[in-house]
Chains A and B, each alone.
Chain A
């Protein structure tokens, strides 16, 4: 496997200490929670990302994040990496996150770039869900 040490470490750390790496769930019905779920079991990856936000000035800030991912090692590492990027960001900043940042942070091999695309899609969807509730 042509994975970088970064992918392997991120995957193993997340697996060994899921709580510390924001694995879990919020109640999706709560008003301050936005949920995004992308991918399909038949394709081999499903990411569920949840953000908990608070209003701050004229925007909203991501206070906490939970995720669960079914997928290959790099899909799990990509989700976990994304979570690290999100906490404390405004929704505008979060929307601006591009999959390339995850690719670079984890040194994903070209064949695994779709994992980072999936991660980007999951935050977009979670924000959409959150905004639809406000």
Chain B
């Protein structure tokens, strides 16, 4: 089977580069293109590359209604998260040592927080509700005298649920605490207006929005001003916040991807919302299917479902012509099921049984139809193989069984 016949429904993991973006990137690499170093001030190669970088910066700023001078290029959202969290903590450590985040943040925020704990900072990890949402009141209650930073994600990457940035930001503003938001999953999916939103720092990724991997950006607000300590030193690029020669082809790619996202967000959203509705309607006809996340408060491009009595990795293997991801332990190196799903307070077996479907710009309706038909079939077959399904059909309550754990 031609590998390309595999249906790609893992857009929340990464997106293909839009061909329009790729052709733009090609103009900034070869001898006949604009290959210059944007930091070269003494010749046209440098000036042209610098122009391209600044134009891209405007496109990124424009998508989220920020000032281009507030956009700092990074290698991706992971670096942007690191720069925001460690950068603020280390710069403002004389003001306080307390940071607030949540248990279902991306590792790009959780791991820097762990590092800061080793450096003497104190971190509060808020518990999400059963849908994966952090309530603004929880933030308010957790803020104390020593709090300097709140870092929460906008859209959860596994569930697609949205946090209320406006309400949380009003609380952090009132308390004089900085608010960082990981918005890697947001660009091109929901409107973000940083001219109005009380958010101080925001992380972006190109490759979740049809741009290339290896490039991202951090929004660092100018008014009220946020200062950060750099992670990478060496030349003072990006106003000292991130040194290193800029990669114009990557940056132009991100700029073009975000420019297109602004133009096509409504069109993309309408199409994907239609797929989501169809997928949900059909998949929910399968018995014992559960939605992870909040249907009333989530983006339509991500749909996380648990198929009870079926283990997620075997389901993924059964769906061999469909590329999706799972919260199952067996797909990870750690043998632990998804920490995000566990934090929702669901039973571990539902985390083991979870599959994340994510749709995107290049998804076709026939992809959705084909996936639904294969899904129905594979869930049936795996249940026929499942001793848990057999026990369920026999009327045994699995919660009352004593298991021989190994």
Contact = CB atoms under 8 A, between A and B. Distances in A.
Nearest to A121: B406
A76 interface: yes
B387 A46 contact: yes
Most interface-central of B348, B352, B403, B406 (chain A CB within 10 A): B406
Interface in A63-102: 68-76
A111 B348 contact: no
A13 to B, nearest CB: 12
A42 to B, nearest CB: 4
Given A70-B309, A70-B310, A72-B311, A42 B386 contact: no
Category for how many chain B residues contact A:
20 to 34
B405 A39 contact: yes
Contacts of B349: 41-42, 44
Nearest to A45: B311
Interface in A15-39: 15-16, 18, 23, 25, 37-39
Contacts of B406: 38-39, 43, 114, 117-118, 121
Nearest to A125: B404
Chain B binding surface SS class: helix
Interface string B328-360: 111101010100000000011100100000000
Given A18-B385, A44-B337, A46-B387, A72 B404 contact: no
A47 interface: yes
A70 B386 CA distance: 5
A48 B394 CA distance: 15
A25 B390 contact: yes
Q: Which of A1, A71, A114: most chain B CB closer than 10 A?
A: A71
Contact of B387 (A1, A48, A111, A114): A48
B387 A70 contact: yes
A45 to B, nearest CB: 7
Nearest to B329: A44
A74 B329 CA distance: 13
A130 interface: no
A73 B313 contact: yes
Interface of A: 1, 8, 11-12, 14-16, 18, 23, 25, 37-48, 68-76, 111, 114, 117-118, 121, 125
Q: Which 8 A-B pairs have the closest CB atoms?
A: A40-B403, A72-B330, A72-B313, A48-B387, A41-B349, A42-B348, A73-B317, A68-B387
